[in-house]
Amino acid sequence: MPVIRFSALVAFAMAALGEAAAADRPNIVVIIGDDMGYADVGFHGCRDIPTPNLDALAASGVRFTNGYVTGPYCSPTRAGIATGRHQTRFGHEFNAGGKGTGLPLTEGTLADRLRAVGYKTAAIGKWHLGEEAPYHPQRRGYDEFFGFLGGAHDYFDVKGVLRGSAPLQRNETEYLTDAIARESVAFIETNRSRPFFLYMAFNAVHTPMQADDARLMKFASIQDKQRRTYAAMMFALDEAVGRVVQKLASSNLTDNTLVVFFSDNGGPTMPGTTVNGSSNAPLRGSKRTTLEGGVRVPFVMSWPGKIAAGKVYDPLVIQLDAHATALAAAGIAAKPEWKLDGVDLAPYLTGQKTGTPHDTLYWRFGQQMAIRHGDWKLVRYDTAADGEKPGVTAAKLYNLKDDIGESKDLIATHPEKARELKAKWDAWNESNVDPLWGGGRRKNASGAQ
């Protein structure tokens, strides 16, 4: 009769307990749109592009009217959600691309943290956090990967799409947005009996502007060709989200799944960006600026088993909060050395906590900066937003409660408020570091080194 050591029995019991605990954890799905216009979803009043699935997702949970991201560019925002920290804390201030650029290996990821407690993890779609081997998704906490490593991709010619670390061994025939949906649904099906983390990162509606004929026909009434193509691409994104939500429902997983959706930055609407036909109305500014149009985005969270449906939430939130909320949902206590900047939103949304998650939000993007404190915002932004040559404005002060379009500079009449916000931003900036690529030392809000 074989002898079973007590230590082995203990290890077996602990493993069994770990599996049981993991089975009780909710699934987590983070969905990111790419370069979406603030105005281009039905729940923000869009009329020429139907987004019924995104609207339904918003209705099933909470819609954030003041939902932000930490940067006006694709890669920095994704670095923020991955780590739960402002990307300027660790030098990922600009888009990764080229040799030696990628999410710094000093940083842990949400996928790392969830996988450590038993989650199955997958990254599907756009990565844009480094193209060299050390930065590959499957070295950053993901068990599975389907997608591409760079910042943009053709939607029809998908030879460069990867499965894992190698190019696909079969020809990919589907429109890329549809392929991302297909692979996401397949991942849910395979892992429906265990907790999973799905990071579903679209390249839609980033350029190149490409849509299939059937969807283009749905928008034949839109005269502007660029807007028509954009509408068809948005419609494809909405349908892809719908396929994932429907799969959760048909698998009886809806009530035990936290779903977060946001765009990685505002729509690119000004010269010097990859303009795609989006609209950020009533916001001013564009992708690549720290104006509202660059950093305020469509933002939704749904968790029917935890958060009541139909909520509209006005206090300030930022995509870093999705990281903290996911950790808390999974029962993971944040470690001090992770230095998270986000907040668990669930207690605020369920009424367990009063007050607001954030009184103040901060941004730094090269020479551009912004701080929002309550309704007040101090900002230095790219002068291209004013139709001028690229540069950076002097600091301007806006009251967003009265002027959501940032049209009336109040710095001359409220200099004391500007000084207060500048001091807050300078104090926050002390904990940032120089960018690892894309520029030298950054200047602070006053312009001094």
Report the pLDDT value the prediction gives residue 172, as an integer from 0 to 100: 79
Whole-number percent of the chain with pLDDT over 70: 92
pLDDT band at 1 (very low <50, low <70, confident <90, very high): very low
Q: How confident is the model at residue 16 (pLDDT cuts 50, 70, 90)?
A: very low
| Assigned token pair, 208 | 């190149």
Residue 297 confidence (pLDDT) above 90: yes
| Cβ atoms 214, 174 nearer than 8 A | no
Angle between helices 176-190 and 225-250 (to 10 degrees): 10
Average pLDDT over residues 317-327: 98
Q: Stretch 115-122: mean pLDDT, rounded? A: 98
- pLDDT tens for each residue of 46-103: 999 999 999 999 999 999 999 999 999 999 999 999 999 999 999 999 999 989 999 9
The amino acid present at 361, given as its one-letter code, is: L
Statement: the pTM of the whole predicted model exceeds 0.75 = yes
185 sits in which H/E element: helix 176-190
3-class DSSP state of 7:
helix
Q: Counting Cβ atoms within 10 Å, is residue 424 exposed (0-12), middle (13-18) or buried (19+)?
A: middle
Catalytic residue among 44, 46, 74, 358: 74
- Omega into 208 within 30° of 0, i.e. cis? yes
Q: What is the pLDDT of residue 445?
A: 40
The band of 166, judged by pLDDT with boundaries at 50, 70 and 90, is confident
CB-based contact 58:241 (threshold 8 Å): no
44, 86, 92, 128: which is the annotated catalytic residue? Answer: 128
Q: How would you label 7-28 residue by residue, b for 16+ Cβ within 10 Å and e otherwise?
A: eeeeeeeeeeeeeeebeebbbb
Say how far apart CA 411 and CA 433 lie, in whole Å: 28
Work out the angle between the directed axes of helices 74-83 and 320-329 (0-180°, nearest 10).
Answer: 30
Cβ–Cβ under 8 Å, residues 289 and 58:
no
Helices within 268-353 (DSSP H only): 292-295, 320-329, 346-350
Q: What contacts 214, CB < 8 A, 6 or more positions away?
A: none
Listed residue (271, 260, 200, 206) closest to 233, CA to CA:
206
Cβ-based neighbour number of residue 167 at 10 Å: 12
**Single-letter amino acid, residue 143:** D
pLDDT of amino acid 170: 63
Query: Is pLDDT of 114 > 70?
Result: yes
Res 161: pLDDT? 87
Question: Which tokens in the block code for residue 212?
Answer: 């299939």
Segment among 163-167, 330-334, 377-381, 438-442 with least mean pLDDT:
438-442
pLDDT > 70? residue 18: no
Name every residue whose Cβ is closer than 8 Å to that of residue 83 and which is 6 or more positions away in sequence. 90, 103, 107, 108, 109, 110, 323
Highest CATH level, class, for 360-429 = alpha beta
What's the CATH code, domain 23-350?
Answer: 3.40.720.10
What pLDDT score does 10 carry? 45
CA–CA distance, 82 with 242 (Å, rounded to integer): 24
CA distance 260 to 60: 12
For tokens 């799969």, name the residue.
247
Q: How confident is the model at residue 409 (pLDDT cuts 50, 70, 90)?
A: very high
Residue pLDDT, tens place only, 172-195: 789 999 999 999 999 999 999 999
Decide if 74 is catalytic: yes
In the chain, domain spans: 23-350, 360-429
Residues 6+ apart with CB under 8 A from 350: 306, 307, 308
Whether the predicted pLDDT of 20 surpasses 50: no
* Tokens of residue 319, six digits: 């995509």
Positive or negative: CA dihedral 82, 86, 91, 92: positive
pLDDT in tens, 126-157: 999 999 999 999 999 999 999 999 999 999 98
Helix axes 225-250, 52-59, angle to 10 degrees: 50
DSSP annotation string for 235-264:
HHHHHHHHHHHHHHHHTT-GGGEEEEEEES
Per-residue confidence at 333, pLDDT binned at 50, 70, 90?
very high
Instruction: Compute the distance between CA of residue 236 and CA of residue 354 in angstroms, rounded to an integer.
Output: 38
Q: Are 122 and 196 in contact (CB under 8 A)?
A: yes
Whether 323 is catalytic is: no
- Please write the tens of the pLDDT for every residue from 273-285: 899 999 999 999 9
Strand order across the 396-399 sheet: 360-365, 368-373, 376-380, 396-399
**Taken in order 333, 336, 340, 345, is the CA torsion positive or negative?**
positive
